[in-house]
Structure 1
Amino acid sequence: MVTNGWWFSKGERAEACFGIEIDAAWKNFADHWNRLLLDEYMRDGGTYRYRRYSAFEYDATDRIFRLLPHAPYEQSKSVNHLNGGFKRHFEPLENSFIDHPVLEKILTGFCRILCEAARHDRWNIKIH
């Protein structure tokens, strides 16, 4: 990841890396994708993207994820040529998703990797 600036992993490797098993808890977690809402901001008129959005702060010193107050999602036009450059208002992630142990394992695993690779202890995490 340090060399490429990105990381890709097949499912089996991610399962081992994050300590996740494909079991009933995973299926319960995955079911949240069935409750995403239509993204009404697609400038191409598309009706193919569904989402919710929430942001967190993570500090490696105490290893705690803090849910930030709900706010619109923004990306610059340089990052997102199609839908960037304005505030997009999405419904927040469901509490059952935010509090899910599978999400905690995923976020904890990614933060451990990112803290080591980037040598940063504080992260702003946007899930959408």
Structure 2
Amino acid sequence: MSTIVPPPSLPEETRPTLETLLENPLARDGFVFVRANAMHSLLPNLAQWDRFAASWDDLGVDLYMADGGRYRRRRYATFSLSGEMISRKPHQPHYQSRDYNTLNGGIERWFEPFLPESAANPALEAILRLVCRVATDLTPPERRPASWHAETHQFRIEAQPDMPGRPTPEGLHRDGVDWVCVIMIRRENVACGETSIHDLNRRLVGSFTLTEPLDTAFVNDNRVYHGVTPVERDDPTRPGWRDVLVVTLRHE
């Protein structure tokens, strides 16, 4: 299980704010790592988190891996985000040009859709509202779209006994969007999985590891590259995996 234990309540005057946690470092550096206890202050409704996290046990195998790997499972859904409005779009393929994904890009990839109960879970709604607010606040008014096109990905990367799982098999990359948010759901019997951030000259500017449920990375995809090291089993006799939710936003 990936049950979240809320941190002790903080006095109102000491609670982290969206500005101190996200806007200042994200605007300055193009990325920010937010630990789980801080995310609790930013997400209002996590009562059904356990049900949401459990849906990662029902993902389909990604059959589009050009490296022949069968270590990635996923589901996919798209939404339109506009102010207070969140609307799910008809199911559609995921597409990236080979300029951004040299391994699997250049084709339409049809993944299994989010289950209806997952797409309607209040935890996902809270996450989408937060990402929308971050993107809107940090986009100059003259460049803000009337609505954002949001792509959501449920990923499970499985580490095999004799082969690590690769969260970013395309290597260091950008996604070809405006904003990226990666939220840890659960790690089970895996080591590594370090996220590295590089500037547009591919120089390392930061690194961290998502370990606890709700550990989160926000990334300005126009300003930095990102990648994640392979995950390996801690105990080779037991299954191991890394579950994350990825949300990307771009102009409609």
Unmatched tracts of structure 2, length 5 or more: 1-25, 154-252
Instruction: Give the match for residue 110 of structure 1.
Output: 131
Aligned length: 124
- With the length of structure 2 as denominator, give the TM-score of the two structures: 0.47
Give the letter aligned to residue 114 of structure 1. Answer: A
Larger radius of gyration: 2
SS in 2 for 1:112: helix
Quote the Cα distance in structure 2 between the aligned partners of 1:13 and 1:20. 14
SS in 1 for 2:64: coil
Instruction: Give the match for residue 81 of structure 1.
Output: 102
SS in 2 for 1:93: coil
Quote the Cα distance in structure 2 between the aligned partners of 1:31 and 1:17. 22
| 8 Å CA contact 2:45, 2:122 repeated in 1 | no
2:74 aligned with 1:47: no
SS in 1 for 2:28: coil
| 8 Å CA contact 2:76, 2:112 repeated in 1 | yes
2:78 aligned with 1:26: no
Give the letter aligned to residue 152 of structure 2. Answer: I
Instruction: Give the match for residue 223 of structure 2.
Output: none
| TM-superposed deviation, 1:20 | 4.8
Quote the Cα distance in structure 2 between the aligned partners of 1:94 and 1:46. 24
2:143 aligned with 1:122: no
Give the letter aligned to residue 57 of structure 1. Answer: S
Identity of aligned residues (%): 34
Structure 1 residues 80-121: Cα deviation after superposition (integer angstroms, max 9, x where no partner): 121111110111111001110110111111111111011425
Instruction: Give the match for residue 59 of structure 1.
Output: 82
Quote the Cα distance in structure 2 between the aligned partners of 1:84 and 1:6. 24
Quote the Cα distance in structure 2 between the aligned partners of 1:4 and 1:32. 33
Q: Larger strand proportion, structure 1 or 2? A: 2
Quote the Cα distance in structure 1 between the aligned partners of 2:116 and 2:128. 16
Quote the Cα distance in structure 2 between the aligned partners of 1:78 and 1:9. 29
- With the length of structure 1 as denominator, give the TM-score of the two structures: 0.89
| TM-superposed deviation, 1:12 | 1.4
Quote the Cα distance in structure 2 between the aligned partners of 1:34 and 1:107. 22
Give the letter aligned to residue 26 of structure 1. Answer: W
| 8 Å CA contact 1:2, 1:118 repeated in 2 | no
Q: Larger helix proportion, structure 1 or 2? A: 1
Unmatched tracts of structure 1, length 5 or more: none
Structure 1 residues 33-69: Cα deviation after superposition (integer angstroms, max 9, x where no partner): 1111100001111111111111111111xx1111111
Q: 1:17 aligns with which of 37, 42, 65?
A: 42
